Amino acid sequence: MDAIGESLMANSWFVILLLPMLWYAYTLLKLRNKKGTELTDDKSVSYPLISVVIPFRNESRWISDLLDSLELQDYPAESWELILVDDHSLDSGPLLVRKAIDRIPVKTQLISLEKGSGKKFALKEGIERAQFDWILATDADCCFKEGWLRSYADLISTTDANMICGPVLFRENRNNWLASFQKFEQAILMFVGKASILNANAFLANGANMAFKKSLFKQADLKESDTPSGDDIFLLHHIKQMDPAKVIFNDAAEALVRTPAMESILRFIDQRIRWASKSRYYKDADSLRYGLAIALGNGILVFALCLFLLGFLQLWAFLGLICLKLTVDAIIFFRSRKYAELRYKWLSFLLIFPLYPLYTIGIALLSLLYKPRWKGRKI
């Protein structure tokens, strides 16, 4: 009888864990590959007026590359303006901007933030000073192709979008384990974010590459008093409520923005904890649904491992759960291959797969217990 009882308990645990794992599979596999909106060849497209707004703090290492990218934009100078907002930098970044202003062939403002601090305050200040209704935002450590601004102008002219999101990948070609891990994760995030936008249930956006209407930004609650992170996500949630179909994805090759990966494990963990900490303020149903599915999918494997080690779950059941999640994740990774700039894609996937559940659960727990540093500030 004891053996029968143990078998029933083991099978019960398997069923209990299998049901949410199947929901994880169903939720993630609904995200399909679709093409976003691409640049047209229509030469008669008008030139909409665009304000490029870029907050920065302590970015002297990267800001020259940013300014070079802006100087080379193939867009009429009279149709855009550039606003850079210094968030109390402690390095030579503002000096580099002042020296470069004369060579940038558009109206350029350098604003020093006086009241408040943080990216959200800097972004708000820059947008308040903007004279045009379309805002194109990026980060000061980014660089992009000469057609970046034109690719957004094309979509603004030819669609009725309220918000346009674009792709962000890393600029380095390093292939150490930390760089590979970040490239793997970024590929997944890019695919999931793009697919959710194209399925009209957007829940991810990247503040390093997005355009939106100033009038809609001014209505949004960015949770400044709650969290320093999430200006992009909370803005997306606000704009999506009006009409999900008017949030689109810029799939043009010219739209790609490149940003540096974290170079140390401590900075990487700090960044991910900062990202995770804002999730407690989400009210968007899609964000909560996908976030719960991903947490369950990874949490179940960790819990199943504990049950197996304690003898409450049989080996076949444990391996069955692993195989199910491995299959789902492999399909998602295959769909993400456009963004997976890895030397050995599938080898990287197989090496990272067993670590990912521990990583996601660990970051979630640390976000409840630890306040990370960002740009030299404790947040």
DSSP result, 137-172: E--TT-EE-TTHHHHHHHHHHHS--SEEE--EEE--
Q: What is the mean pLDDT of residues 87-113?
A: 93
pLDDT digits (tens, 9 = 90+) for 301-358: 999 999 999 999 999 999 999 999 999 999 999 999 999 999 889 999 999 999 999 9
Phi, psi of 371 (to 5 degrees): -100, 115
Distance from the first to the final alpha carbon of the chain: 56
CA dihedral 295, 299, 301, 307 (to 10 degrees): -160
Instruction: Name which of 143, 199, 150 is nearest 169 in CA terms.
Output: 143
Q: Cα angle at 291 between 289 and 294, to 5 degrees?
A: 110
Q: Give per-residue burial for 192-212: e unless 16+ CB within 10 Å, then b.
A: bbbbbbbeebbbbbbbbbbbb
pLDDT tens per residue, range 23-82:
999 999 999 887 766 666 665 567 999 999 999 999 999 999 999 999 999 999 999 999
Q: What's the predicted TM-score (pTM) here?
A: 0.92
pLDDT at 282: 93
Q: What is the mean pLDDT of residues 155-175?
A: 92
Residues 6+ apart with CB under 8 A from 213: 133, 134, 135, 162, 163
What's the fold here for domain 50-187+202-264? Spore Coat Polysaccharide Biosynthesis Protein SpsA; Chain A (3.90.550)
Unique residue bearing structure tokens 């002042």: 98
Rounded Cα–Cα distance for residues 235 and 351 (Å): 35
Tens digit of pLDDT for each residue in 203-222? 999 999 999 999 999 999 99
Q: What is the DSSP letter of 112?
A: E
Bridge partners, 208 (sequence order): none
Average pLDDT of every residue of the chain: 91
Position 7 scores a pLDDT of 56
Residue 208 is predicted with a pLDDT of 96
Domain boundaries of the chain, sorted by first residue: 2-30+286-370, 50-187+202-264
What pLDDT score was predicted for residue 126?
96
